[in-house]
Structure 1
Amino acid sequence: MTETVLRERRRRQTEREIGDAALLLFEQQGVDGTTVDDIARAAGVSARTFFRYFPSKERAALVPHTELDERVEEMLDSLVADRPLLEQLEEVWCEILVALDDGRSEPGRLLLRVRRLMRSEPALRLAAIGYDEERVDALVERLRVLLGVDDDLGPRLAVTTAAVVVGVALDRWADARDAGRPVDLLATYAEARRLLRESVSP
């Protein structure tokens, strides 16, 4: 294993440890009641180190799950220019939702904790919106290059549409679980996609 790979692995481990500490503290004492120093102390790092990884305490709770994020990167690398983009993005989202295993897998439990917390913590929701915008912009540019187009309107529309539909499904899923009437995440996403198509069909 090369030194570069080891460094990256250590970096991701530290990032995950800081993220776990932030999320737990936010659940226990709220975002406003938690400081960067609190998070750094709980993660066993300095505040200086914290800011090498995250621009704010809220962003620390939004660390993607490493293995799932790597799988997403592989799927995005396999997208092709000669198939409808929205359809391919929906396939990517389906595989992500399968990996979440209706909240039973590690990334599924992590996502559920974050989404629950976002509902009661406006600062965390705002941070998530900003982070999502950054990721959307990066993905749109990646897809613009893949498609070989100068205008990013098509890729942006496909990425935004796919993200909105899955976001609605995730919120419905999390709300239903909290209300004691759980729904299946994949089935909820499939229904959201069906309703979207019905709404735009002639």
Structure 2
Amino acid sequence: MNNTPPSPRRPLTERRKAATRFEIARAAAELFTERGPDATSAEEIADRAGVALRTFYRYFRNKQDAVGPLLAVGAERWRVLLAAAVPGTPLPEALERTLTEALAVPEDGTAEGLRRTRALLRAAVRDPALRAVWYRVNQESEERLVPVLARLAGPDADPLELRLAAAVAVDALRIGLEVWAESNAPDGPPGAPGTGAGSPAGPVLRCLREVSSGLRPLAPAARAVR
């Protein structure tokens, strides 16, 4: 039985804003995949998304920034799954199980979404502004992961170890995805694009296992000596 309370439903205006942000992000990703960031303008992204240019700039600072929501989808899905894990679950076990589940579903559930993600990560190698967005997304993911791990570990967990565990987990995801993006592996079978030899799960889980082998159960915080 899942005793996790349901997330409060966001107001309609917030949901519409989130939907608009994601539509712009998807349009930017499609154009970057087709032409590359250099050959794509903010005006073209806005036109593809069906919004005015002023609407584009209301949500994003520049064209590279527009793909941020898309790059953050996987990490957000991972955090939701971790938040639903049973408190006290060994950290390496919880991280691997939820990450495997999160990676099984590409950005939009299709092989095309997987190809888009791979194209964005490859483009980030050559585009410093796009790379900065990717690093920012990972930094924000690390910060948001800390309270999720704190809930799993309990109130006595050491804050230093919590931050270290969050950094290790997010870096494993980032490096694994970058290695997968630069590889020549196929994008996986059409019926299950997030699984199989061509999915990002292989290199990401390998990274996670390598680094999490050094993660011990989160210890209680050191208490002041009276």
TM range (shorter): 0.7 to 0.9
Unaligned 5+ runs, structure 1: none
Q: C-alpha separation between the residues in 1 aligned to 2:30 and 2:39?
A: 12
Q: C-alpha separation between the residues in 1 aligned to 2:51 and 2:103?
A: 33
Q: Which residue of 2 aligns with 1:139?
A: 145
Give, in angstroms, the shift of residue 129 of structure 1: 0.4
TM-score by length of 2: 0.67
TM-score by length of 1: 0.74
Give, in angstroms, the shift of residue 142 of structure 1: 4.2
- AA aligned to 1:159 is A
Within the candidate set 160, 168, 192, 1:153 is matched to 160
Ranges of 4+ aligned residues in structure 1 off by more than 4 Å: 3-6, 65-71, 197-201
Q: C-alpha separation between the residues in 2 aligned to 1:43 and 1:14?
A: 8
The answer to whether the 8 Å contact 1:30/1:121 transfers is no
Give, in angstroms, the shift of residue 157 of structure 1: 1.3
Give, in angstroms, the shift of residue 60 of structure 1: 0.8
Equivalent pairs counted in the alignment come to: 197
Aligned residue for 1:62, secondary structure, equals: helix
- AA aligned to 1:15 is R
Matches within 5 A, 1:3-42: 6-42=12-48
Q: Which residue of 2 aligns with 1:188?
A: 203
Give, in angstroms, the shift of residue 98 of structure 1: 1.8
Give, in angstroms, the shift of residue 124 of structure 1: 0.3
Q: C-alpha separation between the residues in 2 aligned to 1:187 and 1:75?
A: 19
Give, in angstroms, the shift of residue 97 of structure 1: 1.7
Confirm or deny that 1:171 pairs with 2:178.
yes
- Greater relative CO, 1 or 2 (CA 8 Å, sep 6+): 2
Q: C-alpha separation between the residues in 2 aligned to 1:70 and 1:174?
A: 19
Unaligned 5+ runs, structure 2: 1-8, 188-196, 217-226
Matches within 5 A, 1:12-161: 12-64=18-70, 71-100=77-106, 105-144=111-150, 147-148=154-155, 152-161=159-168
Percent identity between matched residues is 31
CA offset digits 1:133-186 (Å, max 9, x no partner):
122212214433663258632222112111222222222222222799x75533
